[in-house]
């Protein structure tokens, strides 16, 4: 079925409660009592605890067609009522809902209205390289990075990442240089427990955003277990050989299990049509994902392009596609850097050099400013 047809299918209803409603209070109790008497309706509560306010939503599933929006809006504690499609009903953008949505993690705000750069190592290879990277980030005012400890590789004979052995020094060095969030791929639920333990042992010097890689986009059991934990937000990468709709449904597994702190990552599609790039760059989908869902959208120019090729003027393809994604409104950039790419254990050929970090950040700033000017222009109308 075409995506638009699916999105038109009406199924669930969401009651958006008044901000900061007291769930021990009278309004909430009367509302829940009323809902419990509706025939063939099940309820599920979702709470988003932010720094500024707590948002509570009640999802009604079942025979919602029989319920009138206007009547539901009169119930105690209800601010607004929206009907949503069955598809990605938690992460999806509700019809006519233009509210800014975001989440906070370890002091960093992730939303569809801002932008963070996660420059770092594709794979951790030594404390010295991790430290050089972290220092460069701090010197350039950055508080986020990427650090691969668990690497899913095409060949079983390739380096698989240092795994839990490298976590303590990665976290300690992150703390030393003021890094607040590290994007780190996990391929098994045991990795989440290892990350949790290493953070405990080192006294939580930093935070981790769990990355679901493109090879695991439809690993539903992994998604369910990562969705059940609420400690860490998730960077969910689009599947490289499936439709956007399939990837969005897969992301919904995380939210349906309880974790709505999800960023959606575009990283290029596997097809020879994109040659000579490693993957066919799909950043034209930045606004599409923002329209269909409430997730912040990440772009990964390194894994999309896969090389350090440049145009005749010397601008690298990685810089070009980054600017294209940012000017289209991307909210996060995951990008490979390395202090010594020729000795990188994974993906050296696509890594940017530490000396290029200030240039990269300035190029991003220019593209973001252009996006903001475009936004201001459209808002004039």
Chain positions contacting Mn ion, by CB under 5 A: 122, 347
Q: Does 214 bind ligand PEP (CB under 6 A)?
A: yes
Cβ-Cβ contacts under 8 Å for 217 (sequence gap 6 or more): 236, 237, 238, 239, 240, 242, 247, 250
Please state the three-class secondary structure of 89-134 as a single string. Answer: CCCECCCCCCCCCEEEECCEEEECCCCEEEEEECCCCCHHHHHHHH
Give the residue with the Cβ less far from Mn ion, 172 or 347: 347
CA angle 367, 372, 373 (to 5 degrees): 95
Q: Does 368 bind ligand PEP (CB under 6 A)?
A: no
Nearest alpha carbon to residue 75 among 96, 58, 97: 58
Binding residue for ligand PEP, selected from 14, 72, 117, 122, defined by CB under 6 A? 122
Q: Does 213 bind ligand PEP (CB under 6 A)?
A: yes
Judged by beta carbon distances under 5 to 8 A according to partner kind, the member of Mn ion, ligand PEP, none in contact with residue 267 is ligand PEP
Nearest alpha carbon to residue 58 among 39, 40, 36: 36
Give the whole-angstrom CA distance, residue 219 versus residue 225. Answer: 10
Least Å distance between CB 221 and ligand PEP?
18
Give the whole-angstrom CA distance, residue 278 versus residue 120. Answer: 19
Enumerate residues 247-306 that contact ligand PEP by CB under 6 A: 267, 300, 303
Least Å distance between CB 325 and ligand PEP?
14
Least Å distance between CB 184 and ligand PEP?
10
Widest pairwise Cα distance in the chain: 69
Judged by beta carbon distances under 5 to 8 A according to partner kind, the member of Mn ion, ligand PEP, none in contact with residue 339 is none
Give the whole-angstrom CA distance, residue 305 versus residue 283. Answer: 12
Judged by beta carbon distances under 5 to 8 A according to partner kind, the member of ligand PEP, Mn ion, none in contact with residue 237 is ligand PEP
- Name the pairing type of β-strands 116-120 and 144-146: unpaired
CA angle 252, 219, 154 (to 5 degrees): 135
Number of residues that bind ligand PEP (CB under 6 A): 10
Least Å distance between CB 223 and ligand PEP?
14
Judged by beta carbon distances under 5 to 8 A according to partner kind, the member of ligand PEP, Mn ion, none in contact with residue 214 is ligand PEP
**Which residue's beta carbon is nearest to the bound ligand PEP?**
213
Give the whole-angstrom CA distance, residue 322 versus residue 47. Answer: 34
User: Between 303 and 342, how does the x/- string for binding to ligand PEP read (CB under 6 A)?
Assistant: x---------------------------------------
Least Å distance between CB 302 and Mn ion?
7
Residue ranges that bind ligand PEP, judged by CB under 6 A: 122, 148, 185, 213-215, 237, 267, 300, 303
């Amino acid at each position: 079925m075409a995506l638009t047809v699916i999105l038109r299918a009406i199924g669930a209803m969401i009651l958006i409660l008044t901000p900061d409603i007291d769930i021990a209070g009278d309004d909430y109790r009367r509302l829940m009592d009323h809902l419990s008497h509706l025939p063939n309706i099940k309820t599920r509560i979702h709470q988003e605890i932010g720094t500024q306010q707590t948002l509570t939503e009640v999802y009604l599933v079942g025979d919602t067609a029989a319920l009138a929006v206007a009547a539901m809006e009169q119930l105690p504690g209800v601010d607004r009522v929206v009907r949503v499609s069955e598809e990605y009903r938690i992460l999806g953008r509700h019809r006519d809902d233009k509210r800014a949505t975001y989440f906070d993690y370890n002091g960093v705000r992730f939303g569809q209205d801002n932008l963070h750069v996660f420059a770092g190592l594709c794979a951790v290879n030594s404390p010295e390289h991790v430290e050089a990277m972290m220092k460069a980030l701090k010197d350039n005012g950055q508080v986020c990075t990427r650090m691969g400890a668990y690497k899913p590789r095409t060949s079983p004979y390739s380096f698989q990442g240092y795994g839990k052995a490298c976590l303590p020094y990665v976290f300690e060095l992150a703390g030393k240089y003021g890094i607040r969030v590290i994007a780190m791929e996990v391929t098994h639920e045991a990795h989440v427990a290892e990350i949790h333990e290493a953070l405990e042992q080192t006294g939580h010097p930093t935070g981790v955003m769990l990355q679901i890689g493109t090879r695991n986009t439809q690993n539903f059991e992994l998604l369910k277990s990562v969705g059940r934990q609420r400690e860490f937000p998730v960077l969910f990468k689009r599947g490289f050989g499936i439709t956007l709709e399939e990837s969005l449904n897969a992301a919904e597994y995380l939210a349906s299990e309880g974790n709505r702190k999800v960023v959606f990552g575009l990283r290029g599609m596997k097809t020879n049509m994109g040659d000579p790039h490693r993957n066919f760059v799909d950043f034209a989908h930045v606004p599409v994902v923002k329209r269909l869902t409430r997730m912040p959208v990440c772009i990964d120019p390194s894994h999309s392009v896969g090389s350090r090729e440049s145009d005749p003027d010397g601008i690298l393809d990685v810089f070009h596609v980054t600017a294209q994604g940012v000017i289209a409104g991307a909210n996060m950039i995951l990008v490979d850097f390395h202090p010594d790419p020729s000795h990188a254990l994974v993906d050296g050929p696509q890594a940017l050099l530490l000396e290029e970090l200030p240039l990269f950040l300035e190029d991003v700033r220019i593209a973001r400013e252009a996006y903001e000017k475009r936004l201001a222009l459209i808002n004039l109308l």
